[in-house]
């Protein structure tokens, strides 16, 4: 810890920036699953100096061999019980949306900062009469995380409306990455294999009556509520779907009678096979154990290899 405190003193003397920070910060406070041990250092830099400060911080950390994990809304993560070594860089304050009319009267564009909550972006767009992001209504997490994951809801993926992404690239330069369809797939984006920070994303938007959008957004949120998404801490679907399996993964798990299967405080929700919930006192090890057990059972009974969608991060 002393090393990181010294590191931060050095950083702050060279580039002062207001930031919330915590040493030994429990990651359970920053994930929707509400599990996860301590990060050596969790830092959430203010919006004003975010790009310059994060570039400086990332460069300095790299020079000293300190690992940095980029945190969006923590909505797709299982952080290990031992926590995360090094720095967790929280993008949450880097939030905001701008909307621009396009060449045609009915078309436009949105530029949304990476730390913006997806639901906040959807609300802002609807408030200004811009449609395109309604499918994300009610989905927890940030726009940066949604681009990184190529999040998909109600048959629509982020890549369906993405035009370009602004990155802090591997060399810590701000750079635009244009949308290249071949680089994206189901829950797949090119950023999953790269050491980059997504600063913002530009989306194609269309003028749409606000009342119509509000109705769609409301019905998405109600549907999520009805599906029990918010009933217990979780990270959404535990496993990816795969067309080759012939049916949704939830149905496959249901079919084997695995609803309600429990490991410590982690449970396959009693109402949906593809939702693993924290019933109150789950550890990351409980969740990992349950995921592994489901993978093994499905594989041995059906010969199908399920792929987790939730990400396991942190010290094993
Ligand atoms: C109740 C519930 C319902 C859900 N429903 C859906 C759904 O319908 N569809 C769906 O696809 N997902 C769903 N999810 C999962 C989750 O909401 C998405 O995966 C979301 O996009 C994750 O975003 P995040 O900001 O929370 O990312 P995090 O969980 O914080 O991080 C995920 C990954 O993205 C990286 N990352 C995050 N931000 C950045 C950035 N700015 N730059 C670089 N890397 C970054 C992280 O390092 C990490 O590797 C659901 C989750 C919950 C809790």
pTM of model > 0.85? yes
Query: Which residue of 139, 150, 152, 311 sits with most ligand 1 atoms within 8 Å of its CB, as the best mutation to test the pocket?
Result: 139
How distant, in Å, are the alpha carbons of 79, 146, 157 from that of 100? 38, 21, 22
Flag whether pLDDT at 180 surpasses 90.
yes
What pLDDT is stored for residue 78 in this prediction? 98
Give every CB contact of residue 223 below 8 A, 6+ residues apart in sequence.
Answer: none
Ordered by where they begin, the domains of the chain are 2-90 (3.30.43.10), 97-226 (3.30.465.10), 243-306 (3.90.78.10)
Work out the average pLDDT over 114-129: 98
pLDDT tens readout for residues 155-178: 999 999 999 999 999 999 999 999
Flag whether pLDDT at 110 surpasses 80.
yes
In the DSSP assignment, the letter for residue 233 is -
What pLDDT is stored for residue 16 in this prediction? 82
Provide the 10 A C-beta neighbour count for residue 136. 25
pLDDT tens readout for residues 256-265: 999 999 999 9
Residue 79 tokens read as 């952080």
Q: Indicate which residue's Cα is closest to atom 36 of ligand 1.
A: 145
CA–CA separation, 5 vs 22, rounded Å? 10
Flag whether pLDDT at 1 surpasses 80.
no
Give yes or no for residue 36 CB within 6 A of ligand 1: no
CA–CA separation, 125 vs 139, rounded Å? 15
Q: Which of 25, 134, 166, 309 is catalytic?
A: 309
CA of 69 to the centre of ligand 1 (A): 14
CA–CA separation, 199 vs 113, rounded Å? 6
Q: Which residue has the tokens 């041995």?
A: 300
CA–CA separation, 101 vs 215, rounded Å? 23
Start-to-end CA distance of the chain, whole Å, equals 19
CA of 305 to the centre of ligand 1 (A): 23
Work out the average pLDDT over 235-252: 95
Alpha carbon 7 to chain centroid distance?
Answer: 28
pLDDT tens readout for residues 57-88: 999 999 999 999 999 999 999 999 999 999 99
CA of 143 to the centre of ligand 1 (A): 8
255 sits in which H/E element: helix 249-255
In the DSSP assignment, the letter for residue 30 is G
The pLDDT > 70 percentage for the chain reads: 100
Residue 244 tokens read as 């080759």
Query: Is 219 an annotated catalytic residue?
Result: no
* Of 211, 297, 298, 199, the residue nearest 249 (C-alpha): 298
CA–CA separation, 299 vs 305, rounded Å? 6
What pLDDT is stored for residue 98 in this prediction? 97
pLDDT tens readout for residues 9-64: 999 999 888 999 999 999 999 999 999 999 999 999 999 999 999 999 999 999 99
What pLDDT is stored for residue 19 in this prediction? 92
Q: Which residue has the tokens 């989905």?
A: 139
How distant, in Å, are the alpha carbons of 13, 27, 35, 59, 268 from that of 313? 31, 11, 11, 22, 20
Flag whether pLDDT at 213 surpasses 90.
yes
Query: Is 305 an annotated catalytic residue?
Result: no
pLDDT tens readout for residues 250-284: 999 999 999 999 999 999 999 999 999 999 999 99
β 156-157/152-153 pair status: antiparallel
**Higher pLDDT, residue 27 or 243:** 27
* Mean residue pLDDT across the chain: 97
Instruction: Decide: 115 and 142 in contact? Cβ < 8 Å.
Output: yes
CA–CA separation, 225 vs 161, rounded Å? 25
CA–CA separation, 187 vs 248, rounded Å? 15
What pLDDT is stored for residue 102 in this prediction? 85
CA of 159 to the centre of ligand 1 (A): 14
What pLDDT is stored for residue 127 in this prediction? 97
Residue 16 tokens read as 């002062």
β 266-268/130-131 pair status: unpaired
Q: Which of 142, 189, 237, 269 is catalytic?
A: 237
Alpha carbon 2 to chain centroid distance?
Answer: 30
């Amino acid at each position: 810890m002393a090393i990181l405190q010294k590191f931060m003193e050095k950083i702050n003397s060279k580039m002062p920036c207001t930031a919330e920070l915590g040493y030994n910060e429990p990651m359970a406070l920053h994930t929707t699953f509400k599990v996860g041990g301590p990060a050596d250092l969790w830092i959430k830099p203010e919006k004003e100096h975010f790009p310059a400060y994060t570039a400086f911080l990332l460069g300095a950390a790299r020079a000293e061999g300190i690992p940095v994990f980029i945190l969006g809304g923590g909505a797709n993560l299982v952080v290990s019980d031992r926590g995360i070594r090094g720095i967790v860089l929280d993008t949450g304050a880097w939030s905001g949306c701008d909307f621009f009319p396009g060449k045609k009267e009915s078309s436009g564009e949105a530029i949304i900062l990476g730390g913006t909550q997806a639901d906040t972006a959807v609300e802002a767009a609807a408030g200004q009469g811009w449609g395109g992001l309604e499918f994300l209504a009610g989905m927890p997490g940030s726009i940066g995380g949604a681009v990184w994951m190529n999040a998909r809801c109600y048959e629509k993926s982020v890549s369906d409306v993405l035009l370009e992404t602004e990155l802090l690239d591997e060399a810590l330069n701000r750079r635009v990455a244009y949308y290249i369809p071949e680089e994206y797939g189901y829950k797949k984006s090119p950023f999953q294999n790269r050491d980059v920070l997504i600063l913002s994303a530009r989306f194609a938007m269309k003028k749409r009556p606000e009342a119509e959008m509000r109705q769609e957004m409301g019905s998405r949120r109600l549907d999520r509520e009805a599906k029990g998404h918010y009933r217990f801490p979780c990270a959404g679907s535990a496993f990816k779907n795969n067309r080759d399996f012939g049916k949704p993964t939830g149905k496959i798990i249901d079919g084997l009678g695995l609803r309600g299967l429990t490991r410590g405080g982690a449970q396959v929700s009693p109402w949906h096979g593809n939702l693993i919930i924290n019933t109150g006192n789950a550890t990351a090890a409980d969740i990992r154990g349950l995921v592994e057990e489901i993978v093994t059972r499905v594989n041995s009974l059906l010969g199908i290899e399920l792929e987790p969608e939730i990400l396991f991060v942190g010290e094993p």
